[in-house]
Amino acid sequence: MNITQHIERGAQFFPHKTALIFEEKIFTYGELNKLANRLTNGLRYLGIKCGDRVALFLPNIPEFVIAYLAILKRGAVVVSVNSMLKSDEVHFILNDSEAVAVVTTESLREQIPHRDLAFLKNVLIAEGETNTDISLSTLTEKGSADFKTVSMEPTAPAAIVYTSGTTGFPKGATLSHGNICSNMHSVKHCCQIDSDDKLLLFLPLFHCFGQNFILNGGLNACATIILQRRFKQEDVLRAVQNHGVTMLFGVPTVFLRLLETGVSQSDLNSVRYYFSAAAKMSVDLVCQWQEFCGKLIYEGYGLTETSPFACYNHDLRYKLGSIGMPIENVEMKVVNEAGNELECGEVGELLIRGPNVMLGYWNRTTETRKVLDNGWFHTGDLGSMDKDGYFYIVDRLKDMINVSGFKVYPSEVERVILEHPAVLEVAVYGMSDRLKGEVVNANIVLKPSKFASAEDLKSFCAQRIANYKVPHTFRFVDSIPKNATGKVLKRVLQQN
């Protein structure tokens, strides 16, 4: 087994079909596979062995895809590094993963520290001047286009994807070839991707959603992937018009921004399928989008630790507000603090078990034992299941606020505040309080040309939710801090 069987199958049966488009560059399946083979031989020349960790500290560029495939073909392990991280954060990941090489760009090179990285032997530059480092393109050009991909056991590590680091240091979720292969087959099946589809990929490739769900899911279907460096509305619309994009994958913020900036239905006329994940999507947004273009935004649920796909709101049995049902071969249940399974409608922690669940956290045995129990992964998410087997997310277990012994779910308060006509975005979080233990705070982004005072919002909430749930403080801000996939960084809000 090897994840890269998908690109080899595409090269064998569809060698002249377009696999990847990036700006003015076009790569067929045959070309992409040969480039990956050439680089694999280059990695072998550098002494990189099966099981070695190789880091990708790159933006969304074709070299990420080529290097990703090459590392896996060699039997080495891909370590994805968020391209927005700074030197100390990069140092932690390179040191923690014991990476022997890192692929990066000239502009990001300064964030790679020279200190205390005994394992790091080579720095490869994929874009820009190389200086004393190795040119990725030169290494690729020198290699042979023939390479026999290393066959791996299903349980062999394939990728280490570091968690968002919303609490403390990030942990490296170690995903196997079996994990990722299982997941990319589920993506193809659930989203019904076929070889005629054109997938737009602007989400970061260093993230599990962009890397495993969209990239691997698309290549597994021999579809065409239009790669963009980042989300920009004008670039999205241009790609739809120029390339006939059929599938658009995003986070809730993407769809919200498209609606807020006045995109028209005709701008997206070729898109047949919309999908959102990585952050909870409001019912209002789903309804607004359906009213706007007559199509649903399908929602999935998962985590880095589940490769990431675990749950899907199926098109034929769609339930508004639900994350859907577990995908094929995956089990989910809701348990209380004692680990006992709860009845329908009761709120508890969501647990997941299946072939998509990670091997564990890299070099973190104690942390792994905390979240993996007899194959069941403890998600840290609070949710419930209805009588039909559909699951619903309530909140993050760690985000729950305890006000004088009363439980407050931030998502419930956020949903109420978003009903106010002047509010564009909101983030609710808890702050320590001497008398009550914690109090509820809310950061508010108002819509352009709209106004609401703290008293307005407090009164609005008091009419709709219990007094202990009403925010103690409303802070009006220009933006709310989020990670690369749109997840609100509540730890940052609490620190500020």
The Cα–Cα gap between 490 and 354 comes to 30
Q: pTM of the full predicted structure?
A: 0.86
Q: Which domains does the chain have, with CATH numbers?
A: 5-186 (3.40.50.12780), 400-495 (3.30.300.30)
Tell me the average pLDDT of the chain. Answer: 93
The pLDDT tens digits of the residues spanning 232-263 come to 999 999 999 999 999 999 988 899 889 988 88
Residue 316 pLDDT grade (very low, low, confident, very high; cuts 50, 70, 90): confident
Residue 167's pLDDT band, with cuts at 50, 70 and 90, is very low
Residue 422 confidence (pLDDT): 96
Does residue 425 surpass a pLDDT of 60?
Answer: yes
Question: What is residue 487's predicted lDDT score, i.e. its pLDDT?
Answer: 81
Q: How far apart are CA 454 and CA 445, in angstroms?
A: 12
Per-residue pLDDT tens over the stretch 334-368: 999 999 999 999 999 999 999 999 999 999 999 99
Left if phi > 0, otherwise alpha if psi is -120 to 50, otherwise beta: which for 160?
beta
Tokens of 385: 């299941």
Q: What angle do CA 482, 230, 110 make, to 5 degrees?
A: 80
pLDDT computed for residue 405 by the predictor: 66
Least confident of 35-39, 243-247, 433-437, 439-443: 433-437
The percent helix, strand, coil of the chain (3-state, each to 5) is: 35, 25, 40
486, pLDDT greater than 90: no
- Over the stretch 44-71, which tens digit does the pLDDT of each residue have? 999 999 999 999 999 999 999 999 999 9
C-alpha atoms less than 13 angstroms from C-alpha of 160 in its C-beta half-sphere: 25
Q: Which helix (H) or strand (E) holds 71?
A: helix 62-74
Do 494 and 429 contact (CB within 8 A), yes or no?
A: yes
Reported as a pLDDT band with limits 50, 70 and 90, residue 428 is very high
Asked if 216 and 247 count as a contact pair (C-beta separation under 8 A), the reply is no
For residue range 260-297, what is the model confidence (pLDDT) as tens digits?
Answer: 888 888 899 999 999 998 877 888 889 999 999 999 99
In angstroms and rounded to an integer, the radius of gyration of the C-alpha atoms of the chain is 23
Asked whether the beta carbons of 257 and 237 are under 8 A apart, the reply is no
| CB contact at 8 A, 412 and 462 | no
411 pLDDT higher than 90: no
pLDDT of 165 > 70? The answer is no
Question: What's phi and psi for 44, nearest 5 deg?
Answer: -65, -40
Q: What is the pLDDT of residues 82-129, one digit of tens each?
A: 898 888 889 999 999 999 999 999 999 999 987 779 899 999 999 999
CA angle 470, 483, 396 (to 5 degrees): 45
